[in-house]
Structure 1
Amino acid sequence: MQLSHIGIFVQDFDRMIEFYRNTLGFVVTDIERSAERHIAFLTTDPKIHHQLVLVKGRAADVTSRAFVNQISFAVDDLPALRSAYAKLVKSEAKELDPITHGTTWSVYFRDPEDNRAEVYCDTPWYITQPHRASIDLTKPEDVLYAETEAHVRGQPGFKFRKQFDAEVEQLLCRG
């Protein structure tokens, strides 16, 4: 089982569509603008109709924490994360927080309507969670890799991700 999509209520429908299109590269696959509702389906994957659904109707006095803790978007690798970070820096995103969990490199941020979101990619390591340490995504990729590896090797539970994945697979097989 995997998470397939998330839907969020928004106040400014068009602004939020443009934010996710221009900043994270989503495209609109379907949209309805009617008297009954405004709903948009967005994706970054041609094989998945929608990963994000935006629905107009969020009250102005309701905070994002009342609906969703965070929206997380996975990218393939560190160069893709650094590219997303550069776009976020130039966008309406707020509270950018680049970190490593040891298992991932991540950047957390708030979108224009204060929804908490994350763009991340996996690292080749596993460490006991929760864990967070600040990183500088403007550093060269080889430096980030070396600094992260040096950091995680000293953390509880350190192992390579492939070993951790095999252990989880064994647990799942035992049911």
Structure 2
Amino acid sequence: MGDTSILRPHSLAHVVFRTSNLPKMLGFWESFLGAECVFKSDAIAFLRYDEEHHRIAFIQEDSAGPRSATAAGLHHLAFSYPSLRALLYAYQERTKLGFEPAWCVNHGPTTSIYYKDPDGNAIETQVDNFETIEEANAFMTSDEFRQNPIGTDIDPRELLRQLESGASASALMTRVEIGSRHSVPAGI
């Protein structure tokens, strides 16, 4: 479980993006998260969407370019929803606003819908598929997960249709096993 001799933080406070297009990024993230801007200048902006004073910030840097899919560094941010229904309703709302997913997948531990922001940063929206951390940990140490740590692609429209037709969320969150898969789609 790692070195327990260091005092661990109790939470992740915020993420800061460098961008050459502050207005576009700010508009995207405000809409995408339903966030409010708590401060904005020509050089920096701060957003919040929960109890924290800010979760996402942006620094205007004119020389910044879009994120390269092959660049080293942060791959994506992930935002959790309390239920499959909430994740799928958020998907539906985002679709109405013009946000189309880049990838939809049941990883096993989570059901996830990925998007891209205007600078090419990947954003995961997810719901935990297991009731307890112990169940999730057991799956992540299973042969099924070892064979396929990436997951099985899903269609959120179909999941929403099934959910609204009375299918159980737990049945819909059970990953369909497809065999070996060890890489995410290009561009994610």
TM-score, structure 2 as length reference: 0.67
The AA in structure 2 aligned to 1:55 is I
Assess, with a 3 A threshold, how the Cα gap between structure 1 residues 61 and 29 changes in structure 2: closer, same or farther. closer
Aligned twin of 2:80: 74
Alignment partner, residue 33 of structure 2: 24
Matched, 1:53 2:72: no
1:122 corresponds, among 106, 111, 128, to: 128
| Correspondences of 1:1-175 after superposition (within 5 Å) | 1-33=10-42, 38-45=43-50, 47-57=51-61, 59-60=64-65, 63=68, 65-91=71-97, 93=99, 96-124=102-130, 125-126=135-136, 127-128=139-140, 129=145, 130-138=149-157, 139=159, 140-141=162-163, 142=167, 145-149=170-174, 151=176
Partner of 1:169: none
Are the equivalent residues in 2 in contact too, given 1:137–1:144 (CA < 8 A)? Answer: no
Say which SS state the counterpart of residue 3 (structure 1) adopts: coil
Match of 2:3 in 1: none
With the length of structure 1 as denominator, give the TM-score of the two structures: 0.71
Over 3 Å counting, the alpha-carbon distance change for 1:67 and 1:9 in structure 2 is farther
Higher strand share: 1
Q: Report if the CA contact (8 A) 1:77-1:121 is conserved.
A: yes
Deviation per residue, 1:88-120 (Å, 9 max, x gap): 334454652111111111111211211111111
Instruction: Provide the rounded CA distance (Å) in 2 between the counterparts of 1:61 and 1:135.
Output: 28
Number of residue-to-residue matches in the alignment? 149
**Is the Cα–Cα contact under 8 Å of residues 16 and 59 in structure 2 kept in the other structure?**
yes
Q: Secondary structure at the match of 1:149?
A: coil
How far apart, in 2, do the equivalents of 1:61 and 1:74 lie? 25
Partner of 2:186: none
Between 1:121-130 and 1:110-119, the stretch displaced more is 121-130
Q: 1:150 to 1:102 in 2, by over 3 A?
A: closer
Instruction: Give the whole-Å Cα distance in 2 for the aligned partners of 1:22 and 1:86.
Output: 13
Residue range with higher mean Cα deviation, 5-14 or 59-68: 59-68
Any conservation in 1 of the 2:66–2:119 contact (CA below 8 Å)? no
Secondary structure, aligned partner of 2:41 = strand
Contact 2:107 2:152 in 1 (8 A): yes
Identity among equivalent pairs (%) = 24
Q: Distance in 2 between matches of 1:103 and 1:91?
A: 28
